[in-house]
Amino acid sequence: HFSIDLDGAVRTRSTPPPPLATLFIHAYQEDNRDRNATALLHIDLMPTLQFEHERYSAQVQTDMTPNTLILQVRALARNENAIIKYSIEDVDALVTVDERFGKIVYKGAADGRPRPAGIFSYVVQANDGKQIARTRLSLQFTPESPCQSGIRFDQEAYEMQLGANNFIGEISLAARSQPAAMRLLNMNNFFSLDNAGRLTLAPVGLPPCDYCELIVSATDKEGRVALTKVIVHNLSPNLSNMTMVSIVLMVVVIILTITLTFFVCRKMSYARRHLVVISSSPSEIRRKKKTKSADYTP
């Protein structure tokens, strides 16, 4: 797989070469073979940066609302502290990529151009400052089918953040969707959702999670169902009210225990002193005084 010339240059002989190899190299002097040296050469051709998948693909409706999240690409670096930046090589692409998180968002067709149809392919690259990795993104734009035209959310996924008040954000259906009843399918103890799509925080307090993933469904009169995902970021998760009450009760119990122990110890000490005084009768006290007088010599 590898070769070395007289100048010590190591080259590959096979395509592709093995990503990892260890070579045993022996060198000697031509006119005196007794003068020689050996060395171990470790070769690591593994890429320091690569995408999770060689190709990403998605099916997109032709009437998708601009700024809608389609999918997310991810590159992995061997250096955990590396800062990876994403970009798309085609500046006229119908999608954009978030430079930091790799989220592919539908940008929409330019003004005056027809809606996209067919398959569009783009090259997405990741750069960690030392190496560039590339992957291919294929998007198939298809017209909306009749079974999907009845109900659909305007976004496949939402991202929201807890604020100062209980109102978090609003979820809405696509422009041409039929009226539907919305329902929150999980974490109903901490969040509530009305039919208008207003997501609010329940009065029990903040949820015990840094980011909460909610699932919302919408059902129209004909029984057709649409689902979407809502990620709520909680930048400062606090303890729930029940947890705070438990901590306060525990502190009160500890204080009462310490106070009761203190009073019991004082009572026991007083009782011991009182028993010593009672146990000394008058005759015994006079006898002790006589003994002390006899021991005294003027």
Q: Tell me whether residue 188 is in a domain.
A: yes
| pLDDT score for 146 | 46
| pTM of the complete model | 0.41
CA–CA dist 169, 203 (Å, integer): 16
Q: Tell me whether residue 54 is in a domain.
A: yes
Neighbour tally for 271: CB within 10 Å: 9
Q: What letters, b where the CB count within 10 A reaches 16 and e where it falls short, cover 69-102?
A: bbbebebebeeeebebebebeeeebbbebeeeeb
Q: Looking at the structure, do residues 71 and 88 belong to the same domain, yes or no?
A: yes
pLDDT band at 282 (very low <50, low <70, confident <90, very high): low
Q: Which long-range contacts (CB under 8 A, 24 or more apart) does 142-148 make?
A: 142/59, 142/60, 142/61, 142/62, 142/117, 143/61, 143/62, 143/117, 144/61, 144/62, 144/63, 147/224, 148/61
Q: Looking at the structure, do residues 164 and 210 belong to the same domain, yes or no?
A: yes
CA–CA dist 279, 283 (Å, integer): 11
Q: Tell me whether residue 246 is in a domain.
A: no
Residue type, 295: D
CA–CA dist 46, 16 (Å, integer): 12
Q: Looking at the structure, do residues 57 and 126 belong to the same domain, yes or no?
A: yes
Q: Looking at the structure, do residues 191 and 133 belong to the same domain, yes or no?
A: no
Q: Looking at the structure, do residues 59 and 139 belong to the same domain, yes or no?
A: yes
| pLDDT score for 188 | 82
User: Which residue did the predictor score with more confidence, 230 or 45?
Assistant: 230
Share of the chain above pLDDT 90, in %: 13
Q: Looking at the structure, do residues 60 and 32 belong to the same domain, yes or no?
A: no
Name the residue range of residue 200's domain: 147-233
Q: Tell me whether residue 205 is in a domain.
A: yes
Q: Tell me whether residue 78 is in a domain.
A: yes
User: Which residue did the predictor score with more confidence, 297 or 267?
Assistant: 267
- Please write the tens of the pLDDT for every residue from 207-266: 777 778 888 888 877 777 788 888 888 765 444 455 566 777 888 888 888 888 888 787
Q: Tell me whether residue 285 is in a domain.
A: no
- Please write the tens of the pLDDT for every residue from 135-163: 999 988 877 554 445 678 888 889 888 87
Q: Which two tokens stand for residue 28?
A: 């000697």
| Average pLDDT value for residue range 174-196 | 81
